[in-house]
Amino acid sequence: MQKTIVVTGGSKGIGRAILARFAQAGFRLVTCARSADDLEELRTALEQQAPGVDVQTLPADLSKPNEARRFVDFVLGLGGSVDVLVNNAGSFIPGRLQDDAADGSTLRDMLAVNLLSAYDVTRGLLPQLLEQPAAHIFTMCSTASLIPYPNGGSYGVAKFALYGMTKNLREELKHTGVRVTAVLPGATYTASWEGVDLPQERFIKSEDVAEAVFSTWSLSPQAVVEELLIRPQLGDL
């Protein structure tokens, strides 16, 4: 039976690279993003790269609980297995906590898109994942999940929380056969860094993160990489 990978926020950057890598292995691809146009461009590109690939997409803003539920229902409605889940949807707003919006909306927004989206989708798809003999959940954390950065602010809080959720999932699911991996990339050249006055060579490539995720998934069911920490060769920016 064909395996299925679900990647949230898959139209760009790391999510897109992961989809392309698993397409090479014959997976059915399911993803979402806020922009329908971006998803259509993604579908066209993936079909050119891997002729015959099955790409299922849904425009959705996972920071909204009803949209996350709609995406979960979409995935389940496709039928078949859910073998790999990559919680990749996220957003970065730089700044200090003391400079956040007075109403607390900055932190709430960062928690909604970086933490609660992953929580909602994982909870919704977990029964299906538990039915597979060797399912795998990846959460796209960050080096900001480990080290506070001066301008990390609410983003850093959300990523620390996402890392904590992933560690709890690992502990809860270890006896079920579902593997859980926290992916902790440093500065990766994606749309978030466009316009920065730094050479691309200073960044990790999205394709390198995707290859590391695929290799981690490829291990035998008896082994799990709990934390996948990847930094630029010259260190953090």
Asked whether residue 188 is domain-assigned, the answer is yes
Asked whether residue 99 is domain-assigned, the answer is yes
Sign of CA dihedral 213, 219, 220, 225: negative
Q: What is the pTM of this model?
A: 0.95
Asked whether residue 220 is domain-assigned, the answer is yes
Widest CA span of the chain, in angstroms? 52
**CA angle in degrees (0–180, nearest 5) for 128-159-152:** 160
Contact 149, 192 (CB under 8 A): no
Is the pLDDT at 87 greater than 80? The verdict is yes
What does the pLDDT look like over 180-216, one tens digit per residue? Answer: 999 999 988 776 666 677 887 889 999 999 999 999 9
Asked whether residue 237 is domain-assigned, the answer is no
pLDDT at 200: 78
Asked whether residue 235 is domain-assigned, the answer is no
- For residue 72, which phi and psi values (nearest 5 degrees)? -60, -45
Cα–Cα distance measured from residue 132 to residue 82, given in angstroms and rounded to the nearest whole number:
7
Cα–Cα distance measured from residue 192 to residue 188, given in angstroms and rounded to the nearest whole number:
9
Whole-angstrom CA distances from 151 to 89, 94, 141, 154 are 21, 6, 17, 9
Asked whether residue 236 is domain-assigned, the answer is no
Average pLDDT of the chain to the nearest whole number: 95
Q: pLDDT over 90 for what percent of the chain?
A: 87
Cα–Cα distance measured from residue 195 to residue 67, given in angstroms and rounded to the nearest whole number:
31
pLDDT at 188: 87
Asked whether residue 98 is domain-assigned, the answer is yes
The band of 132, judged by pLDDT with boundaries at 50, 70 and 90, is: very high
Domain tally, the chain: 1
CATH number, domain with residue 220: 3.40.50.720
Q: List the domain range (segments joined by +) for residue 38.
A: 4-230
